[in-house]
Amino acid sequence: MRVAVVGSGSWGTAVAGLCAANADVVLWGRSPDLVAAVAATRENARYLPGYRLPDAVRCEADLAGACRDADVVVVAVPSHGFRAVLTAAAPAIAPDVTVVSLTKGIEEGTHARMSQIVAAVLPRNPDVAVLTGPNLVGEIAAGQPTASVVASAAPEVAARLQGLFSTPTFRVYTNTDVVGCEVAGAMKNVIALAVGAAAGFGYGENARAALITRGLAEMTRLGVALGGDPLTFAGLAGVGDLVATCSSERSRNRRVGFEFGRGRPLAEIVADTPHVAEGLRTAVAISDLAAGHGVELPITGLVRAVVEGRDVPDLLGVFMGREAKAELDGIRRA
């Protein structure tokens, strides 16, 4: 199997390394200088320092050249650049190629999930999948045990990709609920911003548990409204990824939220953060998407208010002072 990994950030680099155990892999990066440095040193010092990329992985700065002979194209670019990069690559991607998204976000403006963008840009490529779950890159690069989910509407596609991504330390499960997996992957970043902010404000473990749990309820409500399976949110793509992202010091979204809670201006934090914190962009898109489906997302709404620079002097009071509700409203299917 020949695999093109499009995107040389930390996650793309790590996944290229994972796939190298089972396939011929090329890693594409936008910056020719970065690609040349990774090829020469076998280390992505900018995005994943300390991790040695397997020698078998070829590094490529030509997007068409990277994708032209691929059997599987794995897209690992941020949500705001996903459509443009895939559109540029499209002429080189054959109709029988499987496309896998690693991106956990929602497109601004269109509110499209990444699999929907793939369907729009590559209508002749029906085999689309997402790889998601509690995937803190530093631990994966260090060879620590990790479990993940590959989701595709076609079980045979998911099974084939399961074999591609699996290694002795990276265990992959399959799922057919692409919608639920993508909603969970996008929304957990937003909730992590809120959990990080709460920690920065000085709130304790009870507050963190409440935000994680009610954040899970928000994820599930929206996922079910969009056609996802509520059970997906009890698995690795849902609660698994949510707990990891909200609890780990390695989580960039939690870290951005924490710095905000400590009093730093959001613009300053973003300027000092080399990696993209997807939750900042996703909060707005998710809020709009939920409003269009009549789904209430109070935590996400507060994160959006902060992202948009609105004055919310008592974030905790706004959340705690809401009308009393039943815990499982909007989660159970009829």
Q: Helix or strand or coil: residue 51?
A: strand
- Structure-token match 């397997």, residue found: 54
- Structure-token match 């997807």, residue found: 278
Q: Annotated catalytic residue: which of 104, 188, 252, 255?
A: 188
Cβ-count burial 196-213 (b if 16+ within 10 Å, e if not)? bbbbbbebeeebbebbbe
Strands 24-28, 48-52: pairing is: unpaired
> What are the tokens at 190?
């937003």
- C-alpha 226/C-alpha 293 separation (Å) is 8
Cβ-count burial 39-65 (b if 16+ within 10 Å, e if not)? beeeebebbbeebebeeebbbbbebee
188 is catalytic: yes
- C-alpha 166/C-alpha 227 separation (Å) is 28
Beta carbons within 8 Å of 169's beta carbon, 6+ residues apart: 140, 143, 144, 145, 146
- C-alpha 150/C-alpha 161 separation (Å) is 7
Residue 255: CB atoms within 10 A of its CB come to 21
Q: Indicate which residues carry an active-site annotation.
A: 188
